[in-house]
Structures are given as C-alpha cells and as structure tokens.
Structure 1
Amino acid sequence: MSRRIIIVTAVHSPSARFLPEAYKSLREQQLPEGWEWHWLIQEDGRTDEVRPYVPDDERVTFGQGRPGGPGVARTIALAHTGGEYVKVLDADDQLTPGALARDLAVLEADPTIGWTTSRVLDLMPDGSTAGFPGDPDDGPVERGAVLDFWKANGFRAQVHPATLFVRRDLLVALGGWMALPASEDTGLLLALNSVSRGWFSATAGLLYRKWEGQATGQAAHVDPSERDARMAVVEERARALASFQWRHPAT
C-alpha cells in the first residue's frame, strides 16, 4: 500500500478559477516509489461556483461547509482522509517542480524535524516572478527562532506559512489552524516552532500569486485593531506552548 501526502486547499468563489493551475503544478510533482498524494479541496461556504473548477481525478476530494475562514476550512478538510504528512497549497498558488519530494526527504531523514518551509517567489499578474530579500540559509530552524524573528521584525516571519509541510500527528495535536479571520497560518507556524524544530529549503517551493482579489490585499486584513488582536493571540499561544515545555518528538 502506498504511503500518502495530503494536500490541503481552502478555496472560496473568487479564487476558484485558479484551481486548474494549482492542479497542474501538483500533477507535475514526482514522488519516490511507494508514495502518493491526495488533494483535499474544501470550499469555505456552500455555493455552486467552485465545483466546476474541481478536477475530475480520483485523487481529489471536494468538500463544502459553512463559512468560517480558511483556517476552519483546512482543519475540516483533515477529516476526509488520512495520511502521514500534510502540505498546504492555497487555491491561487502553485508548487514548483520537486517541492513535495524535497519536503518529504527532509522529514523522512530526520525524526526531530516536525515541519518544513521553503523559499517563495511572488507570481505577478504579468507572469514574472520576484523573490524576497533576506531568506534564511538552507537548514534547520530551531525551536523558538520563528517567534523571536517575527516579534523583532514587525510581525513578519522569516519563513512563509503558505509553504508548510508538516507531520499530520503534530498538526492535529496542535488543533490545526487557528480560529482567526486571518493570520491563522502564521499562528500555526509559530505554534509548531514552539514545540518542534523545523526546516527551511532555500530552493523555491511555491509561486505565491499576487492578484487584486486575494484576501491579504483587502483593507480588512490590515485594519489596525483587528491586526493587533490577531498578533496578540498568536504570540500568547506560542509563548504558552513554549512554557509548557512539551516537545515533538516526545523524549
């Protein structure tokens, strides 16, 4: 029986039209013998506007549910199928060639690493790409390093949560994504790093689409009062987990 990587995608109506390109990038991934992927697409809501873009592929499961934000959609999607690892792929993004195999190789080789992230390239509307200055070196991310950097750099982490690849048992133990209207993936990343070492791959693993309708470009995303509240609860959760001194893997 093949071992399985679960790809989790939250989607809403405006981003559904990008699903075919995400699917193409997933189909082009090559995995070691004995491994397969299964794609969970969870609509944040119940409309008739997303299903037409869902690929007709037995490796794809589509679900719908009442609106709760991307964190709720991703967490609910985990109920539909099992696997040893979970990879995030937002509906409007694309994996680069070899991304899944690189992520898998790191976690299979070192049980003390709980999660991986990778370099991101912005995918601009004209098809060009642009990198981020100041990416860390290829290698491990020690416990607490993400929170320290995030706090010292205006609530910006040095690694991107949209590239997350994580052990499923660790993800579930932390309750999945945070129940926040935004920054739910950053909240998970900081929580993961509070209890586990991670890894950063300096090879680009994701094309992060920039487009007019993306959620992070909306005014509500940068509303000061909501943003301050999100950042406060994200930090408090990460520090509480660190104070409990729970570690993955358990020793």
Structure 2
Amino acid sequence: MTAPDISVVTAAYNSADYIERALESVRRQTMDEARIEHVVVDDGSTDETVELVESFESPSVRLVENEENSGNGTVACNRGIERARGEYVTVLDSDDEFLPSLLQRSCGILEHNEKIDFVYPDYYERFPDGTRKTVETGENIMNTVKVGTVHRTDRLREFGSYDPEMIFAEYDLLLRYLDAGLDGYHVPDPLFVYYRRPDSQTADEGRVEAGKRELREKYGEDVRTREYRF
C-alpha cells in the first residue's frame, strides 16, 4: 500500500453530534484523496461516535479505538500521530472543519521548501450564535490553535509531539520549535473554521489563566510578545 502524503489526526470523545462535519471537510479537500489518510482516534466514546466513523464512506478514514477514555485529549492526539503514515501531519479537532484547499496548499509549501518546518494559516472563529470572525495569525504563533498547523511528521515526533502535562500543549510545542531554531510559514488566508463551544476548554477562564501561567513559568513573562522571524 502506498503511503499517503499527509495524515490528518482527529481525537474524538462523544463527538457524534458534530464529527461528520470534520470527516466531510477532509473528504472534500482539493488534494487527491489517495494522498490523504484521516486517522480518527476514538477515546472511549459512549455515544455513537464509533458507529458514525465506521459508516462514513471514505477510503482515507482509519479508526483507532481506545477501550477506555484517557481523560486527556492530548494523549489520544499523540496516539494518532504515532499511527500516522504520512510525510506530513496535522490535527483536526472533531468539532472543527478544514476549508477545501488547506491540505493542498500547506503540503505544496513544505514540498517546495525544505527549510520550512511547519505551516500555519489564518482561520475563521465561529461562535455559538452563528457569527464568525477572521483570525489573522501573522508572525505571532501564539495567535494560532492546534488545528490546521501542518508539520513534518518526523520533526514533530523528534520533538516528542504534544506534552499532555501542559494545558496549552500546542503553544508549548511551537515555542520549543522556535527556541530550537525551526522555521514556520504563515499562509495569510483563512483555511479552516474553529468552532467555539460553551463547554470547550477555552471557555473555562480559570483553566485558561492556569495555562498561560504554565507557559510564562516555562518560557518567561514575555512569552506572549516574543518576536520570531520566519
């Protein structure tokens, strides 16, 4: 079997209400479906998540099941990264969606520039009331989220993937990248939709503040305003 060019990793726990949106957004990518695998890690769901994934008609979908919930979505995400067969890898949360050109554009950048280690685009943030705004990530990777950043798989594994002990494991990883001199590439167009939900981690103000404090303790008080030139 020919290895795919890119692996999309989705960690899912009781995601039956919205995971089809994520699955469909990968299926409708402009990149040839044969070049994509979608690794879905079911983290011990007790609803119909597994049945929905199994019934989804796409040859790119690979289901990995954890019999018991890990209690930490980062652990499930890392398991998917371990299983990834693509040269490149990205994360898609089960409640978000990629816009059609994300994979093709990001992979094209990495394929044509060996000096680039990861690619991250702007995105749309969608709120529960149906409104949305454009988030311009620019040169500050602290404006990103985990979703939609495309990594070289070997490089991501070299850095140990995401640290499940960190609340904001995505920023911890990128700060480790940048402190080690890795180079990112910013795509100045929205290429995915990030859905805010009332029960999401970022809706918990106490947890958000704890996550920021962790990063400041590890990387310094100026972590939010550090300048990295790509």
Contact 2:90 2:147 in 1 (8 A): no
Residue equivalent to 1:63: 64
CA shift for structure 1 position 126: 4.1
- Count of paired positions: 214
Contact 1:135 1:158 in 2 (8 A): yes
Q: Distance in 2 between matches of 1:105 and 1:23?
A: 22
CA shift for structure 1 position 112: 0.3
RMSD value over aligned CA atoms?
A: 2.5
Q: Kindly report which structure 2 residues correspond to 1:132-147, keeping only aligned pairs within 5 A, or say none.
A: 132=135, 135-136=137-138, 146=141
2:122 counterpart letter in structure 1: R
Residue equivalent to 2:86: 83
Q: Kindly report which structure 2 residues correspond to 1:1-251, keeping only aligned pairs within 5 A, or say none.
A: 1=2, 3-13=4-14, 15-31=15-31, 36-44=35-43, 46-49=44-47, 50-56=49-55, 57-65=58-66, 66-132=69-135, 135-136=137-138, 146=141, 157-180=142-165, 182-195=167-180, 196-222=182-208, 224-225=209-210, 227-233=212-218, 235=219
TM-score (norm 2): 0.82
Moved more, 64-73 or 184-193: 64-73
1:89 counterpart letter in structure 2: L
CA shift for structure 1 position 103: 0.3
TM-score (norm 1): 0.76
Give the match's secondary structure for 2:176: helix
CA shift for structure 1 position 111: 0.1
From the superposition, tell whether residues 198 and 19 of structure 1 become closer, same or farther in structure 2 (CA, over 3 Å). same
Contact 2:166 2:214 in 1 (8 A): no
From the superposition, tell whether residues 91 and 98 of structure 1 become closer, same or farther in structure 2 (CA, over 3 Å). same
Between the two proteins, what is the percent identity of the paired residues? 21
Contact 1:120 1:160 in 2 (8 A): no
Give the match's secondary structure for 2:46: coil
2:11 counterpart letter in structure 1: A
Q: Distance in 2 between matches of 1:70 and 1:194?
A: 25
Moved more, 109-118 or 212-221: 212-221
Greater share of residues in helix: 1
